[in-house]
Amino acid sequence: QVQLVESGGGLVQAGDSMRLSCSASIRTFSSDPVGWFRQAPGKAREFVAVINWSGSTIFYEDSLKGRFTISRDNAKNTVYLQMNSLKPEDTAVYYCAVGPSGGYRRWTDYRYWGQGTQVTVSS
């Protein structure tokens, strides 16, 4: 069974930065793309970013480019999401996911999900 664990969330003020982490098995992080999604209150789960096994291919939701950066360190079994200049609109539960098939932008494309970490940005 694949286990994914997100961490790094919490309560911050608008303009702050924070880094989320996603940890999984060595095999997963050495071979599989990893995506980040978020789900805000009352909204559908939304694609944030995805990164392939080597980090050579990265895609972001267009509206988040420039503020969010995805990266991975396979030696540490960890994928990161660096979030800068946070806004109240970024408040959501953030999830990482692995095993995309048929696409990468839809939550239904992924096979395995973490439990999520809450990010709350106050105004």
Q: Is the pLDDT of residue 43 over 90?
A: yes
Q: Is the pLDDT of residue 30 over 70?
A: no
Per-residue pLDDT band for 2 (boundaries 50, 70, 90) equals confident
The tens digit of pLDDT for each residue in 70-111 reads 999 988 889 999 999 999 999 999 999 998 888 999 999 999
Across the range 9-26, mean pLDDT stands at 93
Question: Can you give the pLDDT at residue 119?
Answer: 98
3-state secondary structure the chain: CCCCEEECCEEEECCCCEEEEEECCHHHHHHCCEEEEEECCCCCCEEEEEECCCCCCEEECHHHECCEEEEEEHHHCEEEEEECCCCHHHCEEEEEEECCCCCCCCHHHCCEECCCEEEEEEC
